[in-house]
């Protein structure tokens, strides 16, 4: 471990700074760990176990100096859905499978690809998750009774509306008190751990003034054990692998995206660089080990990582100290946690949901009214009303289709008239610089499957009379895929079947390699590729048969074949008899 460069060159002062940062983050992580576990449909101590084990392993084996891992709000909808549909035991298996998938992603360097997920997709499902978290806390905020957790958003909202007459005014008072503390205390005392205060003060108030009037962690889940659970191996069967792989994949993808986003945020705040694939490895290892101790899936937590940096963290030791602090707190103070009102946890999660909603970015993308807006809204609505398993793949699919549509529209074919071509007076007296034997075009944009047919169609429609030579200036073609190559090949074959010649000018190295691999390079002919368009034009003029040209064959005209300049000297060029 200590051969890791993240731990090298540390002084005693650095370790001290890491210790202070670790304690600070630990104070924040304790209420969040319990709150996220409760919102996910499991006991609060499972969130603490996750905070301890995942935080420690990611600090030791991850790819960022500052990453703090643990249960996060982004996982709440998918974890709750798994618990409701399959149960807690299968949630552990899904987390274990997700860990394996993350390890595989690190081996296959997927960390370099996750960064390409469109922002409209990430903002869409993040905002959707925020809505689910916020609405999911209405029950505890108002102290409603008789509410049954359902799988879908509209079902849960119907439950809240139906049971709203059971509102508990004591719970509402506790919740409002906690919310006011979270909003206003940081403005007066910015260094106070406000989330912990927002738990302690409402708890004291409920104990002193209206004991047994509000639901608490103790009444809802029983007491919290003062020790880590014994190692238990989930009952993994082939049948469970079949029906849990999909939610496990969503956990892995979501965990990978959030952990790398958190690492990127840390990079921006510190100027350091994380190692994305190693970060995925650390996250994967954490999710493999955590279920053996009853912990739920974990990922990098952006808010806690930012708090870690702002508190003076220097190395991964801060993450280690955070985990040890949470462990010691669990061992010493676990019995007191049973008195915490559920109503005091609700405003914490609501504020977390509001902060993660990225409402400013949401409205900004929405107001653009582009394909990204459609992707955003679709991903958001599917996240809220269906689930992430459906929302993310469809959002990505829509984003890809939108991207292909935009890129295909960038492909343009422009007719160019070289200066060497002879001028020709039209009936209207306008000078026309066109050679009927040669057609020249500049191609702009990538020739890929979304634009290849457009390219061939534009070339075909632009040619009124069948020329003998076709010059394609392809300096602005960045890539050619197999579909683009097939359409270009069809165009070449059509010209060659009519005794025409295709000349390619200024093609970049990568597209040229593609043509060589497919054999189209040889079909066109190595001598028909030119580094400069001027050379291609000179070569084309050599091939023109003057006697067959409708313009050059006319007497009294100075033609391109009679006077051409080579090395600034006029010379006569003998025309090719076959063209």
Q: Beta strands 564-566 and 412-415: pairing type?
A: unpaired
Domain ranges of the chain: 15-357, 412-571
Q: Which CATH class is domain 412-571?
A: alpha beta
For residue 552, give both structure tokens: 């050059």
Residue 414 DSSP code: E
Q: Work out the angle at residue 206's Cα, subtended by the Cα atoms of residues 200 and 211, and round it to the nearest 5 degrees.
A: 140
What's the mean pLDDT when you consider all of the chain?
A: 86
If you write DSSP's letter for every residue of 505-556 in order, what string do you get?
Answer: ES--HHHHHHHHHHTHHHHH-GGGEESSHHHHHHHHHHH--GGG-TTTTSTT
Cα–Cα distance measured from residue 97 to residue 526, given in angstroms and rounded to the nearest whole number: 53
pLDDT at res. 303? 85
pLDDT at res. 404? 81
Is pLDDT above 60 for 473? yes
User: How many other C-beta atoms can be found within 10 angstroms of the C-beta atom of residue 548?
Assistant: 14
Q: What is the pLDDT of residues 481-540, one digit of tens each?
A: 998 899 899 889 988 888 889 999 999 999 999 999 999 999 999 999 999 988 888 888
Cα–Cα distance measured from residue 474 to residue 163, given in angstroms and rounded to the nearest whole number: 68
Beta carbons of 443 and 416 less than 8 angstroms apart: no
User: How many other C-beta atoms can be found within 10 angstroms of the C-beta atom of residue 230?
Assistant: 8
Bigger pLDDT: 423 vs 23:
23
pLDDT at res. 378? 96
pLDDT at res. 13? 92
For residue 67, give both structure tokens: 């990453």
For 332, 419, 485, the CA distances from 335, given in Å and listed in that order, are 8, 89, 70
Beta carbons of 302 and 5 less than 8 angstroms apart: no
Q: What is the pLDDT of residues 430-449, one digit of tens each?
A: 444 456 778 888 888 888 88
pLDDT category at 249 given cuts 50, 70, 90 is very high
pTM of the model: 0.76
Listed range (1-5, 260-264, 278-282) with the worst mean pLDDT: 1-5
Cα–Cα distance measured from residue 96 to residue 519, given in angstroms and rounded to the nearest whole number: 48
Buried b (16+ CB within 10 A) or exposed e, 10-25: eeeebeebbbebbbbb
Exposure on the CB side of residue 44, measured as CA atoms within 13 A: 28
- Write down the residue that tokens 């595989």 correspond to: 104
- 525: exposed, middle or buried (C-beta count within 10 Å: 0-12, 13-18, 19+)? middle
pLDDT category at 550 given cuts 50, 70, 90 is low
Cα–Cα distance measured from residue 312 to residue 239, given in angstroms and rounded to the nearest whole number: 48
Residue 527 DSSP code: G
Q: What is the pLDDT of residues 133-157, one digit of tens each?
A: 999 999 999 999 999 888 889 999 9
For residue 244, give both structure tokens: 């849990």
Q: What integer is the mean pLDDT of 346-364?
A: 91
Is pLDDT above 50 for 422? no
pLDDT at res. 520? 93
pLDDT at res. 575? 37
Cα–Cα distance measured from residue 385 to residue 77, given in angstroms and rounded to the nearest whole number: 11
Q: What integer is the mean pLDDT of 333-338?
A: 88
- Write down the residue that tokens 């079909």 correspond to: 523
Cα–Cα distance measured from residue 378 to residue 396, given in angstroms and rounded to the nearest whole number: 10
User: How many other C-beta atoms can be found within 10 angstroms of the C-beta atom of residue 5?
Assistant: 8
Bigger pLDDT: 160 vs 222:
160
Q: Which strand (E) or helix (H) includes residue 69?
A: strand 69-70
Helices marked H in 189-275 — which ranges? 194-209, 217-221, 238-270
- 464: exposed, middle or buried (C-beta count within 10 Å: 0-12, 13-18, 19+)? exposed
pLDDT at res. 417? 63
Beta carbons of 63 and 284 less than 8 angstroms apart: no
Q: Give the 3-state secondary structure of residue 412.
A: strand
Cα–Cα distance measured from residue 340 to residue 204, given in angstroms and rounded to the nearest whole number: 9
Q: What is the pLDDT of residues 179-221, one digit of tens each?
A: 999 999 999 998 888 998 999 999 999 999 988 899 999 998 8
Is pLDDT above 80 for 555? no
Bigger pLDDT: 367 vs 449:
367
**143 — alpha (psi -120 to 50), left (phi > 0) or beta?**
left
Is pLDDT above 70 for 558? no
Q: What percent of the chain has pLDDT over 90?
A: 51
pLDDT at res. 440? 86
């Amino acid at each position: 471990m200590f051969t890791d460069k993240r731990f090298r060159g540390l002084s005693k002062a650095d370790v001290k700074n890491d210790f202070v940062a670790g304690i600070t983050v630990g104070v924040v992580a304790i209420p969040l760990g319990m709150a996220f576990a409760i919102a996910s449909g499991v006991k609060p101590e499972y969130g603490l176990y996750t905070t301890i084990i995942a935080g420690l392993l990611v600090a030791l084996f991850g790819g960022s100096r500052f990453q703090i891992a643990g249960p996060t709000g982004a996982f709440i909808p998918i974890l709750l859905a798994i618990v409701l549909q399959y149960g807690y035991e299968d949630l552990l298996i899904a987390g274990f499978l997700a860990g394996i998938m993350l390890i595989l992603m690190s081996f296959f360097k997927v960390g370099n690809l996750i960064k390409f997920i469109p922002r409209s997709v990430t903002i869409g499902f993040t905002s959707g998750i925020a809505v689910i978290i916020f609405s999911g806390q209405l029950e505890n905020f108002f102290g409603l009774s008789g509410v049954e957790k359902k799988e879908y958003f509209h079902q849960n909202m119907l439950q809240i509306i139906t049971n709203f007459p059971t509102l508990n005014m004591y719970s509402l008072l506790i919740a409002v008190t906690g919310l006011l503390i979270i909003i206003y205390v940081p403005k007066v005392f910015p260094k106070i751990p406000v989330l912990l205060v927002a738990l302690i003060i409402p708890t004291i108030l409920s104990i002193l003034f209206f004991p047994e009037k509000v639901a608490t962690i103790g009444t809802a889940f029983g007491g919290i054990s003062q020790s880590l659970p014994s190692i238990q191996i989930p009952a993994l069967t082939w049948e469970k692998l079949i029906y849990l792989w999909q939610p496990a994949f969503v956990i892995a993808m979501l965990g990978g995206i959030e952990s790398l986003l958190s690492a990127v945020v840390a990079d921006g705040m510190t100027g350091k660089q994380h190692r994305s694939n190693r970060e995925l490895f650390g996250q994967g290892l954490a999710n493999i080990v955590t279920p053996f101790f009853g912990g739920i899936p974990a990922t990098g937590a952006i808010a806690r990582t930012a708090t870690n940096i702002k508190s003076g963290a220097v190395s991964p030791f801060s993450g280690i100290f955070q985990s040890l602090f949470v462990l010691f707190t669990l061992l010493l103070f676990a019995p007191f946690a049973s008195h915490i009102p559920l109503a005091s946890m609700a405003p914490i999660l609501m504020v977390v949901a509001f902060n993660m909603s990225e409402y400013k970015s949401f409205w900004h993308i929405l107001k653009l009214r582009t394909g990204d807006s459609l992707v955003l809204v679709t991903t958001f609505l599917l996240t809220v009303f269906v689930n992430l398993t459906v929302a993310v793949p469809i959002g990505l699919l829509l984003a890809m289709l939108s991207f292909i549509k935009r890129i295909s529209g960038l492909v343009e074919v422009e007719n160019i008239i070289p200066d060497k071509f002879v001028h020709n007076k039209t009936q209207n007296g306008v000078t026309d610089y066109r050679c009927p034997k040669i057609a020249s075009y500049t191609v702009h944009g990538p020739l890929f499957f979304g634009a290849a047919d457009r390219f061939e169609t534009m070339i075909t429609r632009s040619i009124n009379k069948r020329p003998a030579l076709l010059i394609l200036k392809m300096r602005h073609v960045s890539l050619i895929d197999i579909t683009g190559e097939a359409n270009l090949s069809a165009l070449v074959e059509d010209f060659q079947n009519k005794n025409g010649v295709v000349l390619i000018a200024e093609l970049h190295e990568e597209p040229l390699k593609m043509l060589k691999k497919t054999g189209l390079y040889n079909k066109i002919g190595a001598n028909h590729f030119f580094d400069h368009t001027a050379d291609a034009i000179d070569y084309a003029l050599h091939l023109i048969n003057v006697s067959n040209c409708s313009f050059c064959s006319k007497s009294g005209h100075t033609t391109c074949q009679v006077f051409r300049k080579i090395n600034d000297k006029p010379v006569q060029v003998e025309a090719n008899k076959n063209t």
